[in-house]
Structure 1
Amino acid sequence: MAASCADILRREFPELDGEMFDYVTGVLHSGSSDFESVDDLFEAVGELLQDVSRDSKDDEDIRAICQRMYNTLHLDSENAQANRQLLLDAPIQLSQITDSCESGLEMLPGLLLKRDQNSMVNTKKLEKAEARIKAKQIKKQERDATKSGNPLVLEEATASQAASKKETRLETSGKNKSYDVRIENFDVSFGERVLLTGADLNLAYGRRYGLVGRNGLGKTTLLKMIASRSLRIPSHISILHVEQEVAGDDTPALQSVLECDTTRESLLKEEKELTAKVNSGRAEGTEGARLSEIYARLEEIEADKAPARASVILAGLGFNAKMQQQTTKEFSGGWRMRLALARALFARPDLLLLDEPTNMLDVRAIIWLENYLQTWQSTILVVSHDRNFLNAVATDVIHLHSQRLDSYRGDFENFVKIKEERLKNQQREYEAQQQYREHIQVRRSSRAQLGMWQCLLHHAVGVTKKDSEVSCPLIVFIDRFRYNANRASQVQSKLKLLEKLPKLKPVDKESEVIMKFPDGFEKFSPPILQLDEVDFYYEPDNYVFRSLSVSADLESRICVVGENGAGKSTMLKILMGDLAPVRGIRHAHRNLKVGYFSQHHVDQLDLDISATELLAKKFPGKTEEEYRHQLGCYGVSGELAVRPVATLSGGQKSRVAFAQMTMPCPNFYILDEPTNHLDMETIEALAKALNKFRGGLILVSHDERFIRLVCEELWVCGNGTVQRIDGGFDEYRNILQEQFRKEGFL
């Protein structure tokens, strides 16, 4: 099979170079089972072959050649086996190959190839071809899994770490009493994707660290590796990771928080049992002494103050006195996540790990948490997208990027300034070195003089004629000695000098996140969207709203704030028409087209299919390129667009939801907590996109910076109504701070 295809390629494309030949034959070999038609094969390699043919063959010629290769691939397997030549096991990932100018050699999967410097390989086209093949392979795996009745198996995260004899010795001897966390030279992967390599993480006891970085780079995975102790943490350091909500059962909320202090609970249980024995007269001589020890220990840990401390934490997170006595099964998932946070704060671990803690909180609870964590005595590592929260809480920032971790002292604003300064310095150093290299590097000689130098360099440093035809860093022509063939030793000396210079790389700037909301704008006569004297309840004895009157137009930029449970999401659903008022009128313009983003958007996505398939399923009739372009507008491009949605990070799933929401081009958006799970760069891009959007907007958000960037009007939801705050967010924050002072939280 392979020999026949190779013969066709050599005969039809004599100008095909070695790398391209190896790539195409590798694709034909590894993807043969995925080519269900000649169209599949043409899609995989046709564009590349058209590029190589340099316009000597048109599309029909290329397709005819692909048809012959397709027929060859589907010959009887026994006949094909006899003609098969040795091929690569997988398509060459040329985008991941590192050029080695010093030796002129490159390692490719399964082969040691000498790089043809005049190669016709178009790396971008190869990457696109590989992405298409990978997408087909993923689809085939999904189909096979569906047919066999087996669910798609998701990748798992793994961590590895170089052993430290010193730390191992300290750990086994029990002499390590430090509560600092030092994890050195470790790697973290998610399936086949490397997230961190050779990274170091140092957390000094008592400091509060903010972990920041783009969506999908591995922040949440890193927290999980630390929490599970897949990375080595001294055993005497207690760790709590607020990740899962509290289980719903008959335990009251307050008792659920108290129970996480296992020392106190066990002492109280033993004290109760011993007291019962003493009162019943069944006590022996040792019970009295043990009771004294227990009383002393309970006094030492201030066990009597624990209920009050737990109650303060719950109240700060929004649980009133009645809610604190409700059983955990009576709460929704969001409130049970708050309970999990309350338990962690009450337990006071040595290392507290928080992953987007503000996602589950309203503005009031966020402000309370900021104040509470500022007095935290042990170590915190928190992932957050909320700049104001990090500025209030973090004493240090850890930046995850380029598979490494960089540490910065100070809050988030300080991190931004220092990072920008570092990047400028790195760029200046790189440019200075480039100028130095250019200063001692000669302009190219004439062809004849170049030939002489090629011979010299070949004998002096082993550089081949072919390698010297390109601007390899090893080939340096010195102006002073250009015409003097007897000075080859000085040329070598200069070459060695350049070799000793540290190789600086240009600054690797993170790509800018761009989001675009398509305009569906046309002028309508008001009112556009209005609620007039609306009453609403889920249960007749418990009104959510009474006499609610609000309105919005196509120029509105409104943010709705208020405590959780005040009715913010309910009001949005009434505005959209998903919930009907018990009394009153909802009016919407007949040409109004609303796009809705739910705070539980992940629940609305089919996690078992890819993002492109998701759009095709919801909006049929368009080409795959159109679906991919739509996803690309929200940063879901390349391989991300064809991976199962279940394998995407929380922020990437949010972007898919944005792409789905904007596909019909609405002229009015209602967004419920749109910034949850998004990284800071994407939040900034979202704010810019909304500001450019020519249509109306109502959103619910707890992100102070985002609110300030986007909204011009603030509605406070509570006490069965909605009140407009003329002073904006500053006035709202002052109102909350005054409430905290009255309630004794500050």
Structure 2
Amino acid sequence: MLSIRDITVRLGGRTILDGASATLPQNGKIGLIGRNGAGKSTLVKTIIGELDPDGGSVEMPRRARLGYIAQEAPSGRRTPFEAVVEADTERTALLAEAETCTDPDRLGDVHERLIAIDAYTAPARAARILVGLGFDEEMQSRPLDSFSGGWKMRVALAALLFSEPDVMLLDEPSNHLDLEATLWLENFLKSYPRTLLVISHERDLLNTVVDHILHLQQGKLTLYPGDYDSFERIRAERAAQAAAARANQEAQKKKLADYVARNSARASTAKQAQSRAKMLAKMQPIAAMAEDSSLSFAFPSPDELRPPLITLDLAAVGYEPDKPILKRLNLRIDPEDRIALLGRNGNGKTTLARLLARQLEPMEGAINFSPKIRIGYFTQYQVEELPADSTPLELMTRAMEGKPPLAVRGQLGRFGFSGDRATAETRTLSGGERARLALALVTRDAPHMLILDEPTNHLDVDAREALVQALNDFEGAVILVSHDRHMVELAADRLVLVDGGTAANYDGSMEDYIDFVLGRNQPKAEVATKAGDAPAKKSGAIAREELKALRKRVTVAETRMKRAQAEVDALIDALADPSAAKGDLKGLAIGALGKRHGTAAEALEQAEMEWLEVHEELEALMGRGAS
């Protein structure tokens, strides 16, 4: 159990946390939410001991292990696999001791503990976590220094998940993930057996994973039972109650003020009027629910263009000569299209976005743009690269050179930058404000098409909802790359799957795609073909031969799995009672039995994986109507 008791933190003369208190339920899954700048990261730093509070304390059971991701990403010549496995420090220490220990009693204790913590299945577990976060076998064996910062942070996340702390703290864990890895992470966290505290602005994650919402507002903490939607309902009810109470209070104040005005001058009622005046003076105003008036997105409306805006005809695109990342691209984009690009990171979503944004030229084939088209292209890097010593007004004035000051102020106002916020230095803006400023800059000339590559990474839940509404009100086309499936579901009405070196319309819903990613169905992407080409179909005879071969592979995999399970069971019995060991296990020392158990457990894991893969192939083939 984690208890936060009257925590007060002041930074730079400003009170961030003001007597914040909450007790987190044992083994609960808690979503920590609050507006950008509310102090969520400050609270986490206080919990992990990185920041000393001005008052209050954080209490945990003495032996509880607290886990969080360090700000510095892992690096060096180690591989992602090695970094993850080494995160279990107890296992690493015990394995090292087992190699050098000469005391039989101590060696037995070491191996008992190794078995208790599933040490011998740890490599397979580490590999599964890395695969879930997007690392294939080749990537798991590369040096960490060969990866970008985002992929290194994935390794740090994998290491934390692998170490299984008693209390796990996650701060925006999906920011460096694609949709597919985010879905895997949600499934992992749902079944996490210990306490989880996660800062997230992902509405779906907060609905899928958590069972409590910890709301940080105006320096105070409030714990709500249920998921994010439940919290929203409670918040809406409280807002309505507060509005009704304020209206009632205003009516009372008006009535009292009217009485005082009419009766103060009359001797017979002066005393009562004086009493009511005192009552009026003591009446404390009921606070409105906190709202951020600067939370706004309003994209300027473009002039009309005749369709199509863009057509791709067997286009190929990439970065190196003769090495296209995407080929045979056949797409048409019309003025009112709302398209979401799906697919794992590295498959080419950003490459396709850059081709559509005219930042890349096709290597072959053709791409045709409407002659007068204007395109606004937003990437998360633009947010990070805003000059720290400039102001929104200065940046927009330079971007809209030659435009009158009123037009410049008007564009800033659409995105919540009015008054002092327009002249504040960029370094003082929150992440959400910087994201809004970047969006204001890329839409300054009323583009006919918006291309948004991960626009939500710096936005809180409320800001994301505002962005969705603005996109739905926008009168141009939208191309969206986002791991926030709530935004995709609300803002996109057409899905394009970028996979296998091409991009094609996905003939299904977002729900169908989620089922596919989680292994519950097969992709519904259309095969990109030349006009007039008939789609390739397998004959019934070929399908039947495939089915026969797959059934045989399933039988072989089942046999291997049963044999491996029997060997693991025999080794567990022998480790528990060496005198009862049978066959070739008889007479083996505890250390040798432990190593045999590790090898057998890995073999069982591999057999189970092979059986699952073959079984999924069989189900998929049967689902396509093979007989």
- TM-score, normalisation: structure 1: 0.64
CA distance in 1, matches of 2:202, 2:141: 31
Task: Give the conservation status (yes or no) of the 8 Å contact 1:249–1:328.
Answer: yes
Q: CA deviation at 1:657?
A: 0.5
CA distance in 2, matches of 1:646, 1:445: 51
Instruction: Give a deviation string over 1:39-61, Cα, whole Å, max 9, x none.
Output: xxxxxxxxxxxxxxxxxxxxxxx
Gaps of 5+ in 1: 1-179, 279-286, 453-481
Matches within 5 A, 1:352-363: 352-363=168-179
Which residue of structure 1 lines up, in the alignment, with residue 426 of structure 2?
Answer: 645
Residue 465 of structure 2: SS of its match in structure 1?
Answer: helix
CA distance in 1, matches of 2:339, 2:472: 12
Classify 1:496/1:651 alpha carbon distance in 2 versus 1 (closer, same or farther; 3 Å). Answer: closer
Residue of 696, 701, 707 corresponding to 2:477: 696
Classify 1:404/1:618 alpha carbon distance in 2 versus 1 (closer, same or farther; 3 Å). Answer: same
Which residue identity does 2:340 align to in structure 1? C
Residue of 13, 19, 22 corresponding to 1:192: 13
Q: CA deviation at 1:346?
A: 0.9
Which residue of structure 2 lines up, in the alignment, with residue 93 of structure 1?
Answer: none
Question: Is the counterpart of residue 414 in structure 1 residue 236 in structure 2?
Answer: no
Q: CA deviation at 1:565?
A: 0.8
Classify 1:342/1:186 alpha carbon distance in 2 versus 1 (closer, same or farther; 3 Å). Answer: same
Question: Is the counterpart of residue 395 in structure 1 residue 216 in structure 2?
Answer: no
CA distance in 1, matches of 2:313, 2:438: 31
Question: Is the counterpart of residue 523 in structure 1 residue 305 in structure 2?
Answer: yes
CA distance in 2, matches of 1:662, 1:541: 34
Instruction: Give a deviation string over 1:390-440, Cα, whole Å, max 9, x none.
Output: 100111112222332222110011111111112223333444455556666
Residue 630 of structure 1: SS of its match in structure 2?
Answer: helix
Task: Give the conservation status (yes or no) of the 8 Å contact 2:317–2:351.
Answer: no
The 10-residue stretch of structure 1 (611-620 or 513-522) with the greater mean CA deviation from structure 2: 611-620
Task: Give the conservation status (yes or no) of the 8 Å contact 1:398–1:406.
Answer: yes
Which residue of structure 2 lines up, in the alignment, with residue 222 of structure 1?
Answer: 43
Matches within 5 A, 1:705-716: 705-716=486-497
Which residue identity does 1:650 align to in structure 2? G
Residue 58 of structure 2: SS of its match in structure 1?
Answer: coil
Which residue identity does 1:417 align to in structure 2? R
The 10-residue stretch of structure 1 (540-549 or 682-691) with the greater mean CA deviation from structure 2: 540-549
Classify 1:186/1:627 alpha carbon distance in 2 versus 1 (closer, same or farther; 3 Å). Answer: farther
Q: CA deviation at 1:360?
A: 1.6
Which residue identity does 1:305 align to in structure 2? T
Matches within 5 A, 1:154-233: 180-227=1-48, 228-231=50-53, 232-233=57-58
Question: Is the counterpart of residue 721 in structure 1 residue 537 in structure 2?
Answer: no
Q: Size of the alignment, in residue pairs?
A: 519
Identity %: 37
Matches within 5 A, 1:62-141: none
Which residue of structure 2 lines up, in the alignment, with residue 244 of structure 1?
Answer: 71
Residue 192 of structure 2: SS of its match in structure 1?
Answer: coil
Matches within 5 A, 1:303-452: 303-433=119-249, 435=251, 443-445=259-261, 450=264, 452=265
Which residue identity does 2:94 align to in structure 1? L
The 10-residue stretch of structure 1 (227-236 or 260-269) with the greater mean CA deviation from structure 2: 227-236
Residue 371 of structure 1: SS of its match in structure 2?
Answer: helix
Q: CA deviation at 1:519?
A: 1.6
Instruction: Give a deviation string over 1:646-665, Cα, whole Å, max 9, x none.
Output: 33222121111011111122
Residue of 268, 275, 286 corresponding to 1:484: 268
Q: CA deviation at 1:688?
A: 1.9
Matches within 5 A, 1:526-537: 526-537=307-318
CA distance in 2, matches of 1:706, 1:680: 11
Q: CA deviation at 1:511?
A: 4.0
Aligned CA RMSD, in angstroms, stands at 2.9
Q: CA deviation at 1:340?
A: 1.2
Task: Give the conservation status (yes or no) of the 8 Å contact 2:308–2:335.
Answer: no
Which residue identity does 2:58 align to in structure 1? I
Classify 1:664/1:496 alpha carbon distance in 2 versus 1 (closer, same or farther; 3 Å). Answer: closer
Residue 600 of structure 1: SS of its match in structure 2?
Answer: helix
CA distance in 2, matches of 1:326, 1:384: 30
Instruction: Give a deviation string over 1:203-256, Cα, whole Å, max 9, x none.
Output: 222111112222232223332332325343347343333353633321111111
The structure number with the bigger radius of gyration is: 1
CA distance in 2, matches of 1:547, 1:314: 31
Classify 1:671/1:438 alpha carbon distance in 2 versus 1 (closer, same or farther; 3 Å). Answer: closer
Classify 1:359/1:441 alpha carbon distance in 2 versus 1 (closer, same or farther; 3 Å). Answer: same
Q: CA deviation at 1:711?
A: 1.0
The 10-residue stretch of structure 1 (685-694 or 432-441) with the greater mean CA deviation from structure 2: 432-441
Residue 175 of structure 2: SS of its match in structure 1?
Answer: helix
Instruction: Give a deviation string over 1:98-134, Cα, whole Å, max 9, x none.
Output: xxxxxxxxxxxxxxxxxxxxxxxxxxxxxxxxxxxxx
Classify 1:217/1:347 alpha carbon distance in 2 versus 1 (closer, same or farther; 3 Å). Answer: same
Which residue of structure 2 lines up, in the alignment, with residue 269 of structure 1?
Answer: 96
Q: CA deviation at 1:533?
A: 1.1
Residue 259 of structure 2: SS of its match in structure 1?
Answer: coil
Task: Give the conservation status (yes or no) of the 8 Å contact 2:331–2:504.
Answer: no
Which residue identity does 1:208 align to in structure 2? K
CA distance in 1, matches of 2:279, 2:13: 39
Residue 359 of structure 1: SS of its match in structure 2?
Answer: coil
Residue of 467, 480, 492 corresponding to 1:686: 467
Q: CA deviation at 1:586?
A: 1.9
Which residue identity does 2:395 align to in structure 1? L
Q: CA deviation at 1:624?
A: 6.0
Question: Is the counterpart of residue 555 in structure 1 residue 336 in structure 2?
Answer: yes
Q: CA deviation at 1:728?
A: 2.3
Task: Give the conservation status (yes or no) of the 8 Å contact 1:566–1:719.
Answer: yes
CA distance in 1, matches of 2:319, 2:255: 78
Residue of 354, 372, 375 corresponding to 1:573: 354
Which residue identity does 1:246 align to in structure 2? A
Classify 1:553/1:438 alpha carbon distance in 2 versus 1 (closer, same or farther; 3 Å). Answer: closer
CA distance in 2, matches of 1:589, 1:379: 54
Q: CA deviation at 1:494?
A: 6.3
The 10-residue stretch of structure 1 (699-708 or 244-253) with the greater mean CA deviation from structure 2: 244-253
Residue 242 of structure 1: SS of its match in structure 2?
Answer: coil
Gaps of 5+ in 2: 522-608, 617-627
CA distance in 1, matches of 2:397, 2:69: 37
Task: Give the conservation status (yes or no) of the 8 Å contact 1:531–1:575.
Answer: no
Which residue of structure 2 lines up, in the alignment, with residue 632 of structure 1?
Answer: 413
Q: CA deviation at 1:738?
A: 2.4
Residue 233 of structure 1: SS of its match in structure 2?
Answer: strand
Q: CA deviation at 1:710?
A: 1.3
Task: Give the conservation status (yes or no) of the 8 Å contact 2:5–2:21.
Answer: yes
CA distance in 2, matches of 1:626, 1:211: 39
Which residue identity does 2:228 align to in structure 1? F
Instruction: Give a deviation string over 1:703-738, Cα, whole Å, max 9, x none.
Output: 122112211100011111112122221221222232
Which residue identity does 1:685 align to in structure 2? A
Task: Give the conservation status (yes or no) of the 8 Å contact 2:74–2:153.
Answer: no
CA distance in 1, matches of 2:72, 2:311: 37
Instruction: Give a deviation string over 1:14-71, Cα, whole Å, max 9, x none.
Output: xxxxxxxxxxxxxxxxxxxxxxxxxxxxxxxxxxxxxxxxxxxxxxxxxxxxxxxxxx
Which residue of structure 2 lines up, in the alignment, with residue 462 of structure 1?
Answer: none
Q: CA deviation at 1:296?
A: 2.7
Matches within 5 A, 1:137-156: none
Residue 125 of structure 2: SS of its match in structure 1?
Answer: helix
CA distance in 2, matches of 1:409, 1:373: 18
CA distance in 1, matches of 2:308, 2:235: 48
Residue 519 of structure 2: SS of its match in structure 1?
Answer: helix
Task: Give the conservation status (yes or no) of the 8 Å contact 2:74–2:155.
Answer: no
Q: CA deviation at 1:602?
A: 2.5
Q: CA deviation at 1:504?
A: 5.0
